[in-house]
Structure 1
Amino acid sequence: MAAAAKAAPKLVVRTFNKINAAGLSRFDPSMFQIKEDNNDGAHAILLRSHKLQAGDVPLMCRSIARCGAGTNNCNVPLMTDLGVPVFNTPGANANAVKELALCGLFLASRGVMEGATRMEELHQSGEAHAQIEKVKAQFGGRELAGKTLGVVGLGAIGAAVLKAALDLRMEVVGFDPALSVDAALKLPGHRIRIVDSLEDLAKASDYISLHAPSNEHTNGMISTQILSQMRTDACILNFARGELVDEAALAHHFDNGGSGRYVCDFAVGPELSPRSNVIVLPHLGASTDEAEENAAAMAADTTALYLQTGTIRDSVNFPTTTLPARLDTVQRVCVVNENRPGMLGEILSVFGNAGINIVQQINTSKGDVGYNVIDIERLSTFDDVHFKSWDALQFLLTSLDGVKSTRYIYGTPASAKHAGYAVNFKGQVYGIGSVGGGPTLPSFGELLDEA
């Protein structure tokens, strides 16, 4: 009786935090294995809020996906230096955050929180029925219709918020210095006004809703300067990142006559926390069942697509890259390298010198990262070429100065085989011929400690 064919090793996806089960079910169980415990041999990582350390990332890890939009916890600069793409899930939680931002608008406009607190007190004292009509005037507030909402950041969430504001008959101004062409085309341009500066937005707005990432350019953007341009009763909604608001400046603004409300879902410091016009919610933006499933599903799909075909989409540090799949007839080689002059020529010369024909290829770059997907003729023998094995060719390719990692893929996308993954770390090549890597290979953290 013929021996049964040995099953191909599965690709291991390690999860941090609790990732939505429905989203994880998008991984084909015949090709992928989900692990929550250790990182030995993990090919990809999915996480939510876990703060990623270099020691969490096995040497054979091909990718990291954040189930959410922000990637501050993913150590993106280090992962970029190590040649590991970091994916996120833009838009997956847009509706959930939009709905919370709308809630924030109503909380900022009407005395809902204060009124509810007062009614609780009256119920406890037995005076609720007698006082309910008498106290209502204390919590009247104002209507949103006709007021102006300034939206900072016009990506998926910001765009959803401004469209909802238009439905509430508000005027809308927007500001986003990093607005992409694709995002701009999705905006209702004839119904909103885009301004050139945060100062202009502050001057025009009754409410400001923040939907920007946290980075060196945006942290503290709501500063003394911006607050000085705002209307006295203007309100700020922050369901993006706490760091965007200079809390000391905001406290000073309130102490000097600012009467608007600050509504956020981030913990605030003692300068703001005792104030009745500061409303702090738990970090609820992406916590709905629907948003968690959407984010997990999107992260799973993006990760699987990258592992199976080399396609890059929704990466914060790698270029968008798509090469039509012909994996049934070719050997696909994916190369991550430094983005510098001459690299493409050096990479392609390895195939030319070996006598290998390139069927199709794409070269892309983003910042310091170059990425190549190269389809070469699949060989039945090595008789007519100038190398003795696929491992030998991959070693030459990975050894090039400036190459960070290389990977082989062959078979159809639905049954892609992963014949090899190799990493060049500080001139040393690791992982030739390895599918999983295994516990014998160090993590990036261990290599960095040694260095």
Structure 2
Amino acid sequence: MLRSHKLQLDDVPPTVRGIVRCGAGTNNIPVKEMTERGIPVFNTPGANANAVKELVICGLLLASRGIIEGNNHVNTVINTEEAGDYERVSKRIEADKSMFGGKEIEGKTLGVIGLGAIGSRVVSAALALGMNVIGYDPVLSLDAALQLPGDRMRRVTDLDDIFAEADYITVHVPYIKGVTHHLINSEALSKCKSNVHLLNFARGEIIDGAAVRSGYDTGLLTGKYISDFSDPDLMGHPRHLVLPHLGASTDEAEENSAAMAAQTMMDFLETGTIRNSVNFPTTILAPQKNSSGARLCIVNRNEPGALGEITTFLGSRGLNISQQINTSRGDIAYTVIDFTNQPEDAEAIQAELAKNCSFIISLRFLGMVFADELGEPGTYFYVSWAK
């Protein structure tokens, strides 16, 4: 279990069954290499969603009103020769308020790119504040769709609709190289309103800082860019308001993420259940009454005929399958099998199965039925890459 630690390959010995990040992003984990090793990588989507949503709302207000600029000005006045003269400072501050005129967000249009756990909450909060909301998400899941407020918002299938109509644009998509890298670039910005405000509490690379800087320098853009990621092309620019990476940095979000991560890992270690994985297929197999309690979990390369070879071998060793589930995601397949009878020598069967089926990456027996004779659940664990 980890948060922001940059995981190195040498940090992961063959005994590791799974990795879970207490947060949504997994860019600090070598997911591709873990997939090749048959190690599921989990995250905790939604655990910090409320914390990020609240910061996004804060960002909307920071963009609309001269809050930070006004505070900086007040501090400057206080620290000048007027310091100590309360009456003079107060009059000066009141007289200068016209320097920081802003706009109200009510009635303005917010474009939300990414309608998952965070994006859907942002939609609801913006609607409650009287904003018009348009959303875009080409891979919206059913669960996420059910969280949206129906016809109170408008979903679009073309990003250009958001670029053309939005007064504010907030991004809530994962960073995927070649997919969401510089999703908002110079071409996209040329389609936006000149006074559009950009909010980025997802990942810095999703918005092209050089393109935004060029827009400011040429007068194409007059709005603000609010983010909790610094950008080398915008460092120090007065229209780029940068915060520390505070999105999930609340006591509540930290606790929610840790609890969700622990529960996710417990479910996987104790039952073989996979949910909230970024590299393995969702796999849930409820216990069955006529099962002996013996459960076998197998990770293998997704090759034709693999499942047939596995079940044939198990049958040849006298094991009767009561139920099973086989799922796949890309090059990885995952199988969970329950038996009506208990294997006499789980470790031997495991080793022989791995030897006979070269496509197997890892496998392990689960079940409290082994606690007395064969050790704790999941003791017997085979990984091909450790050989």
Kept after mapping to 2: 8 A contact 1:203/1:230: yes
**Which residue of 100, 113, 117 corresponds with 1:139?**
100
**Which residue of 322, 329, 332 corresponds with 2:292?**
329
Residue 418 of structure 1: aligned partner: 378
Q: AA paired with 1:316?
A: V
Distance 2:110 2:225 in 1: 14
Residue 51 of structure 1: aligned partner: 6
Kept after mapping to 2: 8 A contact 1:309/1:413: no
TM-score, with length taken from structure 2: 0.93
TM-score, with length taken from structure 1: 0.80
Distance 1:86 1:145 in 2: 41
Distance 1:277 1:248 in 2: 13
Distance 1:419 1:352 in 2: 23
Matched positions, count: 374
Alignment of 1:130 with 2:116, yes or no, is no
Residue 258 of structure 2: aligned partner: 296
Distance 1:371 1:413 in 2: 22
Q: AA paired with 2:276?
A: D
Q: AA paired with 2:259?
A: A
Q: Offset at 1:59?
A: 0.2
Distance 2:341 2:5 in 1: 41
Residue 303 of structure 2: aligned partner: 340
Distance 2:235 2:9 in 1: 35
Distance 1:119 1:371 in 2: 61
Deviations 1:16-69 (A, max 9, x none): xxxxxxxxxxxxxxxxxxxxxxxxxxxxxx011111111111101100000000
Match runs of 1:406-445 below 5 Å = 406-411=363-368, 417-425=377-385, 430=387
Q: AA paired with 1:366?
A: R
Distance 1:72 1:346 in 2: 36
Match runs of 1:248-397 below 5 Å = 248-257=210-219, 258-269=221-232, 271-325=233-287, 329-379=292-342, 382=344, 389-397=345-353
Kept after mapping to 2: 8 A contact 1:326/1:412: no
Distance 1:374 1:278 in 2: 54
Distance 1:325 1:419 in 2: 20
Q: Offset at 1:163?
A: 0.6
Deviations 1:55-114 (A, max 9, x none): 111101100000000011111111111100000000000000000001100000000011
Residue 85 of structure 2: aligned partner: none
Q: Offset at 1:274?
A: 2.1
Moved more, 340-349 or 414-423: 414-423
Residue 200 of structure 2: aligned partner: 238
**Structure 2: gaps of 5 or more residues:** 83-87
How many percent of aligned residue pairs carry the same amino acid? Answer: 50
Aligned-residue RMSD, C-alpha: 1.8
Residue 187 of structure 1: aligned partner: 148
Q: Offset at 1:326?
A: 5.0
Q: Offset at 1:413?
A: 12
Q: AA paired with 1:189?
A: G
Kept after mapping to 1: 8 A contact 2:274/2:280: yes
Q: Offset at 1:219?
A: 0.9
SS at match of 2:294: strand
Match runs of 1:76-95 below 5 Å = 76-95=31-50
Distance 2:194 2:101 in 1: 18
Distance 2:256 2:347 in 1: 39
Kept after mapping to 2: 8 A contact 1:308/1:413: no
Moved more, 82-91 or 336-345: 336-345
